[in-house]
């Protein structure tokens, strides 16, 4: 399993989104992950009726690990997300999957397809270490940069410890990278 990073640079987020703009479904997938912080498995099972005319999304998160409980989360549908969402769902039926596959009648895209979409857009913009968790990690990273409240993110992500949350969103990696750079400057011989 590859370890993926958040997209730390806002301009890179814009660049990836711009790359995806030719396909409204793929652009929405990217924006949905960045603006909600949901797991890709939770995003892919959404239907149009789950979001139409709503300001808030109530979602029962799937169990990912035995220790994680199924919890209902209340996720605001931010105005920036609505700008992409509303035109996209305008001509769609409520029972359609939001991220509908072109294969079959009414099935969502797979995790593998979501990964391929995100990976291709990221690579086109010079980003490596990207995967489906990048969306969730990017959300967390930027919330942390604004709020500096690890307990808040720990609750959002259902993590058991602050250290896990900081590691997950890449903040610990940033500190590690800085420590190596300082050492590099200090130990010139």
- The answer to whether 131 touches 2, Cβ cutoff 8 Å, is yes
Residue 30 CB coordination number (10 Å)? 26
Q: Which of 54, 63, 71, 107 is catalytic?
A: 63
Can you list the pairs that 115-120 forms with residues at least 24 positions away whose Cβ atoms lie under 8 Å? 117/20, 117/26, 117/29, 118/29, 118/30
The yes-or-no answer on residue 18 being catalytic is no
Q: Which of 35, 47, 136, 141 is catalytic?
A: 136
Biggest distance spanned by C-alpha atoms of the chain:
67
The C-alpha atoms of residue 14 and residue 170 are separated, in whole angstroms, by 20
Q: Which of 35, 47, 133, 142 is catalytic?
A: 133
The yes-or-no answer on residue 168 being catalytic is yes
The yes-or-no answer on residue 159 being catalytic is yes
The yes-or-no answer on residue 182 being catalytic is no
The yes-or-no answer on residue 142 being catalytic is no
Residues in the chain: 189
Nearby residues of 169 by Cβ (< 8 Å), 6 or more positions away: 6, 137, 140, 141, 144, 153
Phi, psi at 42, each rounded to 5°: -75, -35
The yes-or-no answer on residue 136 being catalytic is yes
- The answer to whether 81 touches 35, Cβ cutoff 8 Å, is yes
Positions annotated as catalytic residues are 39, 63, 133, 136, 159, 168
């Amino acid at each position: 399993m590859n370890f993926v990073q958040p997209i730390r640079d806002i301009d890179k987020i814009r660049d990836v989104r711009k790359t995806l703009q030719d396909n409204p479904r793929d652009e929405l997938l990217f924006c949905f992950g960045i603006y909600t912080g949901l797991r890709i498995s939770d995003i892919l099972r959404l239907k149009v009726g789950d979001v139409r005319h709503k300001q808030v999304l109530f979602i029962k998160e799937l169990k990912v690990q035995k220790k994680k409980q199924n919890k209902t989360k209340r996720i605001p549908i931010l105005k920036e997300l609505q700008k992409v969402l509303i035109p996209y769902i305008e001509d769609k039926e409520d029972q359609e999957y939001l991220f509908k596959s072109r294969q079959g009648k009414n099935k969502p895209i797979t995790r593998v397809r979501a990964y391929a979409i995100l990976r291709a857009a990221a690579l086109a913009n010079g980003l490596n270490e990207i995967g489906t968790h990048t969306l969730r990690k990017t959300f967390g990273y930027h919330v942390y940069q604004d709020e500096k409240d690890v307990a808040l993110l720990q609750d959002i992500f259902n993590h058991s410890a602050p250290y896990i949350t900081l590691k997950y969103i890449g903040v610990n990696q940033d500190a590690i990278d800085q420590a190596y750079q300082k050492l590099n400057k200090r130990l010139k011989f």
